[in-house]
Amino acid sequence: MEALKQKILSEGKVLSESVLKVDSFLNHQIDPELMQEIGREFADRYADAGVTKILTLESSGIAPAVMTGLTMGVPVIFARKRKSLTLTNHLYSAEVYSFTKREANEISISQDFITSEDTVLIMDDFLANGQAVIGMINILQQADAQLAGIGIVIEKGFQEGGRKIRNQGYRVETLANIAELTDGKVTFMKEEKVV
Amino acid sequence: MEALKQKILSEGKVLSESVLKVDSFLNHQIDPELMQEIGREFADRYADAGVTKILTLESSGIAPAVMTGLTMGVPVIFARKRKSLTLTNHLYSAEVYSFTKREANEISISQDFITSEDTVLIMDDFLANGQAVIGMINILQQADAQLAGIGIVIEKGFQEGGRKIRNQGYRVETLANIAELTDGKVTFMKEEKVV
């Protein structure tokens, strides 16, 4: 998605060969119009997949997921990273290790909102080692729900997550797939279509 | 806002005289169309306030804030509740105690995204004792930014937060103001205009 790639090139900060900071439009400050474009793009790519719900993870997945849900006309569920006092029992849970934050979190959703009748689009802001997506797939398996596919805003194509998940036969749609972060520069994967 | 009140009456769960659970459309599962209506309502109420940025708090504030930002054409910043490894220095921070989660969190935003040039609309999903909003006001004071006002989806009018903040002279707009949660029923404040 060209508008997203241009935004990454103009505002993304390469902090190391594995860390790209996009705090000015996605992870801390949010650009609502860009999120709307992202939502329309995912809705278009998954238009024929029979999606009934979108599952994402707090916090940075929420904005693109809600915009996608608005276009598709389906509800969005965000998995929580810790249990809160008002959401304690009747949960599907999975353990997710975050390499960015160097900690393990339990992610959970209420059993009320995803059932075996649902076909779910999993979404997240970043795909790197794939831990969060694998945790969400695990949750869908517990709910016996169908997985339509995975929608990722920015993939770090040089890390193993995308390959691992695609090798399991799942569909992964990525709007900006990064080949490398070297010399402070972002290089995108060549195989992506250029508009 | 009538559509929101109807949604609260039909789907909200009164867990006690102080706890209303709205996990089916706001705090866990999100109804994107309702969020869009909420965004349009806040944009309308604050249309002449010169808002340049919206400040909210992860996670449940993000969806209504992003929809408001989309309608107003301004960026949204969500304060984080803990420092992450990619967002460590150059912060404005405030301590916020959550009565729901019974823990104190430090909320922080990067100094990059709010300056003395900004006029900020603070938004949150709930207003009860007001701790989160007071923390965000504190952050805006550190940034020497203007406060346009506060936009709250659901106010617990029987708790002290709203009164405390209005008494300090700040404008608070609430879309559903709850008078009481007794006998498992939600009663809204009478002074709100009924459509």
A20: closest chain B residue by CA: B86
- Rounded to whole angstroms, how far apart are CA atoms A100 and B85? 6
Q: What DSSP letter does each residue of A50-69 carry, written as one string? A: ---EEEEETTTTHHHHHHHH
| Helix extents (H) in B46-167 | 62-72, 131-143, 161-167
pLDDT band at residue B87, thresholds of 50, 70 and 90?
low
Q: Check whether A87 has a pLDDT greater than 80.
A: no
pLDDT averaged over chain B? 93
In chain A, residues with a C-beta closer than 8 Å to the C-beta of B109 are 28
Cβ neighbourhood burial of B167 (10 Å; 0-12, 13-18, 19+): exposed
More confident residue, B115 or A88: B115
Task: Decide if B68 contacts B34 (C-beta within 8 A).
Answer: no
The arithmetic mean of pLDDT across residues B158-187, rounded, is 97
In chain B, residues with a C-beta closer than 8 Å to the C-beta of A181 are none
Q: Check whether A33 has a pLDDT greater than 60.
A: yes
The model's pLDDT over A153-185, given as tens digits with 9 standing for 90+, comes to: 999 999 999 999 999 999 999 999 999 999 999
Question: Cβ A113–B87 below 8 Å, yes or no?
Answer: no
| Chain B contact probe: residue of A20, A30, A115 with most B CBs at under 10 A | A30
Question: Cβ A59–B78 below 8 Å, yes or no?
Answer: yes
Residue B130 assigned to a binding site: yes
Task: Decide if B175 contacts B4 (C-beta within 8 A).
Answer: yes
The model's pLDDT over A114-149, given as tens digits with 9 standing for 90+, comes to: 999 999 999 999 999 999 999 999 999 999 999 999
Domain ranges of chain A: 2-188
Cβ neighbourhood burial of A89 (10 Å; 0-12, 13-18, 19+): exposed
CATH class for the region spanning A2-188: alpha beta
The arithmetic mean of pLDDT across residues A45-70, rounded, is 98
B37: closest chain A residue by CA: A70
The arithmetic mean of pLDDT across residues B30-50, rounded, is 98
The model's pLDDT over A68-80, given as tens digits with 9 standing for 90+, comes to: 999 999 999 999 9
pLDDT averaged over chain A? 93
The model's pLDDT over A1-26, given as tens digits with 9 standing for 90+, comes to: 999 999 999 999 999 999 999 999 99
Question: Cβ B23–A86 below 8 Å, yes or no?
Answer: yes
The arithmetic mean of pLDDT across residues B121-143, rounded, is 97
In chain B, residues with a C-beta closer than 8 Å to the C-beta of A30 are 62, 66, 69, 75-78
**What ipTM is given for this predicted complex?**
0.94
Per the document, the length of chain B is: 195
* The pLDDT of residue A88: 60
Q: Which of B190, B125, B138, B186 is nearest to B165 (CA)?
A: B138
Q: Chain B closest CA to A164's CA: distance in Å?
A: 25
Question: Scanning the structure block, which residue is given the tokens 């960015």?
Answer: A100
The arithmetic mean of pLDDT across residues B19-28, rounded, is 97
Q: What angle do CA A59, B148, B44 make, to 5 degrees?
A: 80
